[in-house]
Structure formats: structure tokens, C-alpha cells
Amino acid sequence: MDLVRSLLFLPASNARAIEKARTLSADVVVLDLEDAVAPEAKAEARDAAVEAVRSGGFTARVAVRVNALGTEWGEDDVAALSGLPLDFIVAPKVEDAGRVDAYGARMSEGVRLIAMIETPAALLSLPAIAAAGEPLSGLMLGVNDLAKALGSGESSDREPLRPWLAATVVAARAHGLFAIDGVWNRLEDAEGLAAECAQGRLYGFDGKSLIHPAQIAPAHAAFSPTPEEIAVARAVVAAFSAPEAADKGAIRVGGAMVERLHLEQAQALLDRAAACR
């Protein structure tokens, strides 16, 4: 599965931000044509995104968040990206599987889709959206739009959104997709960002949506295996590799009973650790 610990959004209309983004260590840089761009600047931002993708030079993989199909800009956004060396298109407010199919019919071969889940209708359609198939590769929870639509109050631990955090991860895992947690808006609150990243990983998310370069390192720290986790995983793999464990489904490692499902988890964690390096 893709390594997507960090997806950094930046306005496609901001040439300085794009130039800086070429040097950043985010796993994915998202050139935004939607929320970060005013209506009167949409066409100019689209042209800038096309030129940026065509010119290349990014350390990260590159995505473009288009305006939704059905808006006055959506069709032109997707058409403008045709044939470009792009990794992902990020689609806002995907509410049913048909919308995934609509993007797929318009996208170039090899480009993959990340569907944003940010409305009550999308929550009700999560299983169908996740099962839509190619080119869908990931689900991203749009927490700001979702909280607004639900009318939920603010909570430091996102208590009103917890069912939907879990539901998004469940839908993604059922269909081999990656799951991306929503943004942290308070740029000066590093402690809050770290706590929310830890919560996202606890729920099973693969990474987090970001809105500032300073958020990249905390996200990578949170969504990468720790040295302690790596040590435990190596111990599990080594224990099951021993000749005396060959015919056993469960063995004792470090004072705990582990099964072969834990061996699979350990190997997956080591593979992720290697990818993070």
C-alpha cells in the first residue's frame, strides 16, 4: 500500500508556495483548486497547476484537488489535467459510487483518485464508495466540512466525529484503500497537532491532511513505526523463524502469547518502517 503519512495542501494560485513545495519532504503535495482558491481566481489557478505538474521537480508525489464535478469549474479542471505526469486527483464531496465512476471516465490512465468524505450523504454511502474500484486508491475524511454539515460542536478529542473516523478506516481497509485523517487548523498548537495525529494513528489512519510545511515532521513521526514497535516486531518475526516454532500457531514472545496473525502484523510494520526510511 502507498506510503501516505502526509498530504500537504497548498493553493495552486500561489507560485511561491509551489516553488517551496518542490523541496519539501511531504509524501504527497496537493495543489489545490478548490477551497484555497477564490472563485475569480479558479481559471488562473488551474493554469498554474497544469504548468507546475508539467514542469515537475517535486520531491513528493503530486496531486491536484479539483473542484467537484457538477460545479462550473469541475469538468474543465479534470480535462486540463489529462495526460499530465500526475499521481493523484483529489475529488471533494464524493457522495456516491457513481461519482467515483464519473471521475474514472474522465481521468488519464495511471492517475489514481482520492475521494474526500465530507458530507452526511457520503457517510451513508461509505461502503459503496469504497467498493467502487479503480481508479479509487484512498479515502480522505474532510473534517471541517463534515463538522459543519453535522452541526457538531468543537471538542479537543473530536468526540462527535469518532464514529466517522472509525467508519472511514473500516471502509478503506475492507477494499484495500489507504485512509487519510482530516486537517488540524490551529497552526500554533504543536501539542494539539501531535495529539490528533496520535489519535488518527490509533484509529488506523495511514496519514494526515496538512496545511502548513511545519506539520510534515510531526505527521511523519506519528504515522511511522517507533523504534520500540520495530524492536517488538523483529522479536516476533525472529521467534516464528525459529525451528521449534515451525508447527505452532501461537508462541510466547517477551511474556506475551502471540499468534500467526501477529506475525503478519509484525512483518507489515517492518515493511512500513523500511518504506519510511
- Structural domains in the chain, CATH included, are 6-222 (3.20.20.60), 227-276 (no CATH)
What pLDDT score does 176 carry? 97
Q: What is the pLDDT of residues 169-214, one digit of tens each?
A: 999 999 999 999 999 999 999 999 999 999 999 999 999 999 999 9
Phi, psi of 225 (to 5 degrees): -60, 140
Please say whether the beta carbons of 64 and 94 come within 8 A: no
Residue 1 pLDDT > 80, yes or no? no
- Written as one letter, the residue type at 261 is L
* β-strand partners of 258: 251
With beta carbons less than 8 A apart as the criterion, state whether 73 and 42 touch: yes
pLDDT tens by residue, 153-168: 888 899 999 999 999 9
Q: Quick one: pLDDT band at residue 263, thresholds 50, 70, 90?
A: very high
| Verdict on whether the full-model pTM lies above 0.85 | yes
What's the pLDDT at 153? 83
pLDDT, one tens digit per residue, over 95-130 is 999 999 999 999 999 999 999 999 999 999 999 999
pLDDT at 150 over 90: yes
Mean pLDDT score, 21-46: 96
| Predicted pLDDT at 202 | 97
**Cis previous bond, 225, omega within 30:** no
CA pair distance 194, 222, nearest whole angstrom? 7
Amino acid 190: pLDDT = 95
- Coil, strand, or helix at residue 93? coil
pLDDT score of 154:
82
136-148: average pLDDT:
96
Residue whose C-alpha is closest to residue 232's, from 198, 199, 256, 261: 256
- Percentage above 90 pLDDT, the chain: 95
Residue 2 confidence class, pLDDT cut points 50, 70, 90? confident
pLDDT value at position 142? 96
User: How far is 76 from 50, CA to CA, in rounded Å?
Assistant: 12
